[in-house]
Amino acid sequence: MHIEGLPLLSDNYAWVLTPQSGNGCAVVDPSEAGPVIEFLESRDLRLEVILATHHHWDHTGGIAGLLEFFPEAKVFASEIDAKHFAGTTDFIGDGDVFELFAEEVHCLHVPGHTLGAVAFYCPKSKAVFTGDTLFTAGCGRLFEGTPEQLCHSLLKIRELPEDVLVYCGHEYTQKNLNYALHVEPENAAVQARLAEVDNQRAQGRPTVPALLKTECETNPFLRSDDGALQAAKGCSDAVSLFAHLRRGRDSF
């Protein structure tokens, strides 16, 4: 599949997935319909599938408008989150696998940001769509779940192969890396990534997607089980370190 980012609202990304051939396509997390329809028309693409990582309006706000334009499109969302918006045709849960453009899509239930949040993992394309659960260099806020849930959800995503690219829902990398550096001022990998991201942003370039390997090295929320980091922050286990880091980020 070919994957292209579509910047929407102030800092959201919808992801447009197209197969090697044909004019079908899928869209992940369309926050608004108008710009998506405009983009698809400019490419002569027909929307067949919508994937919703979670129910927040800035990820699902475009679904109704898209379905008016493409009434045949299927909408995949978790049973738990789907009750918050209309249009879901295929209710998915943890471990479900479905086919999209001759590729497998694996559903991972990753609660915490919302209770029904899911990540869509495409092994063949080496891509994972994480919505607002795992951000590049950070993670989503705890709107509905517990620190324990989100901590375990992130460690679950970390189990994927390290050459997978993380496609998240917002352009937050720069702010997240500034926080990562605040957490660990001496971390050379964070320093180097921040310099690179500062440069990309100065040129108006996107910083998403990012390799999971890079995330494992520079995203403090993926390192909550790191004993040295726990000790440095006076925490005794992964969940308490995660909660400590998340609280710090909320007020950063």
- Cite the active site residues: 54, 56, 58-59, 113, 132, 170
Q: Which is nearer to Zn ion, 64 or 195 (CB)?
A: 64
Helix (H) or strand (E) holding 109: strand 103-109
CB of 113 to Zn ion, least distance (A): 6
21: tokens are: 């051939």
Per-residue contact track with Zn ion, 47 to 86, x per CB under 5 A? ---------x------------------------------
**List 29, 48, 132, 144, residue binding Zn ion (CB under 5 A):** 132
| Among candidate residues 151, 200, 142, the one with its CA nearest the CA of residue 173 | 200
170 is a contact residue toward Zn ion (CB under 5 A): no
Residue 155 CA, chain-centre distance (Å), reads 14
Residue 222 DSSP code:
G
Q: Which is nearer to Zn ion, 32 or 132 (CB)?
A: 132
CB of 249 to Zn ion, least distance (A): 15
CB of 135 to Zn ion, least distance (A): 10
**How far is it, in rounded angstroms, from Cα 180 to Cα 246?**
11
Q: Decide if 174 contacts 201 (C-beta within 8 A).
A: yes
Using the structure block, give the residue that is written with the tokens 């500034």. 178
- Residues that bind Zn ion in the complex, under the rule CB under 5 A: 56, 132
